[in-house]
Every structure is written in C-alpha cells, then in structure tokens.
Amino acid sequence: MTIQFPGNAAPFIATSRDILVAQGIKLTIGSDFEEYAELVAEERSAQKLGAPFDPKIHKLGKSNAFWMIGRSEDGELIHTQAAKRVQLSGRPLSSYLLRNFRSFPPPLKGVDLKHSRFRATPGTHRIAGTVAYHGEFWVAPERGKYRGVGLAPVLGRSGMLEMMRQWDPDWIYGFILNIVAFKGFAARIGYLHLEPSALKWVVEGRDGPIDTFLAYNSREDLEYLLDIPLKEAQPEAA
C-alpha cells in the first residue's frame, strides 16, 4: 500500500536527515529481536529490555515488529525505540488491555503484577482496528550532547513514520510513567493525546504505586503531525 501524507512526508524526511547528520547520528532499523535484546543488554545498562519486546516472551519479527536504534559517529548507542502490531481481534483496546495489561509492565524490578491494575480511559474505548504499540524510547543521558538539543521530535516522528510505512495503522499507542509525562515527554516526541491513570503499577519497596499515562495518535493525527515543519515542532530544550 502506498501511503500519501498531506504535503508529502518528503520535507520531514529531508529535514530530519539534515538534523541527524548535523548531530552525527545514524539510524538503523531491524526486526531481529534476539539481536536487539543482545545489544540492549550490552549497551543500554541504564534501562533493561521491556517485556513487550522480549523475544523470550513474544514472537517478534519482520511481519509484526521492528526496532530502531541510533548510533554516534563513534558507534556508541545513543537511542532506541521499538514498535509492534497488536492483535485486538475485533475488540477495542479497552477490552484487550483488561485481559492483557500485564504484558506491558515498566522496565523496573519488583513489579507486582497481581496487585497492579488497568483503568479504561476514554481513548481505549475508541482505539480499534489496526493498532501498533510504541515503546523502548530511550536517549543517552548526556544532556547537552543528545538530550536538550531538539532530537526528541526527530526521533519520535521517525519511529511513527516507520510504523505508517510498514503497517498504516489506524492508531498507535504507548504508556508513559507520570514522572516522565509531567516533563512534557509525550508532546516532544509527537503524541497528541495523553490520558492519566491508565495503568497503576505496584512495585516492591516503593511506598505507593507508580501511575502511567496512555499516549496515543490516530492515523489522522499522524498525517497532521508529519506535515508540520520540524522547526515548528522543536522546543528550545527537547
């Protein structure tokens, strides 16, 4: 299927390429999740592999998932993200998550799956059809080198564009911890919709549960987003 974007996605592709080249970053896309799990274990010690993209738990490959990584000119891993199609079997996301929310835990030790919970948000009742889950978003922590230089909109939209190229989804969604959402992370990477208290995770050793926002975009949102010039999407500190 050939996907047509408003005004064509070519301006975004060209501008994002210029920005990445200026920062000395090369993006690579793959679908071998054994390879991805290995590079995460070896090069992303600050954040373990998320369960939704663990090849020991899920069957992931070219037909239903991809990962995207960014490396510096020196070959250092400085960015990851991944996406996969989710089979809703004719149900809305709310019904799917009621049974399957435990498949999307945060990458933290000691998550108590039994006592954690999902609350259906308004968006989960609307999300249906062809759906993709977006996660694993990480940028190397050296602020001033890779963080705070306007890369988030480029990287976020690059992943969303790849989802559209591969699957033309009706919706994409992800989960963002409160502590990250309150810093504007969802807006920076390109999510137009954010709903609070979707997932509440009980974690051993913590005084209270960890709250999570649902972030999502429709196909129309994605087309609108990718038609916005990147210079208008980049905050002073991203």
Q: Is the dihedral of CA 141, 179, 203, 112 positive or negative?
A: negative
Residues 6+ apart with CB under 8 A from 39: 69, 77
Please check the confidence at residue 206 and state whether its pLDDT lies above 70.
yes
Put residue 41 in one of left, alpha, beta given phi > 0 → left and psi -120 to 50 → alpha: alpha
Q: Report pLDDT for 230.
A: 73
Please check the confidence at residue 238 and state whether its pLDDT lies above 50.
no
Q: Given the DSSP bridges, would you call strands 210-218 and 171-177 parallel, antiparallel or unpaired? A: antiparallel
**Residues 45, 60: Cα–Cα separation, whole Å:** 22
**Residues 74, 53: Cα–Cα separation, whole Å:** 27
Token look-up 């909109």 returns 153
Please report the domains of the chain, with CATH numbers, ordered by start residue: 10-233 (3.40.630.30)
Each residue's pLDDT tens digit, 12-52: 777 888 889 888 999 999 999 999 999 999 999 989 999 99
Residues 6+ apart with CB under 8 A from 210: 106, 108, 177, 178, 200, 201, 203
Q: What is the pTM of this model?
A: 0.91
Each residue's pLDDT tens digit, 143-187: 556 666 678 899 999 999 999 999 999 999 999 999 999 999 999
What type of residue is 233? A
Give one DSSP letter per residue of 88-144, joined into a string.
-TT--HHHHHHHHGGGS--S-TTEEEEEEEE---HHHHH--SSEEEEEEEEE-S-BT
**Residues 65, 53: Cα–Cα separation, whole Å:** 9
Residues in the chain: 238
**What would you report as the CA-atom Rg of the chain, rounded to the nearest whole angstrom?**
17
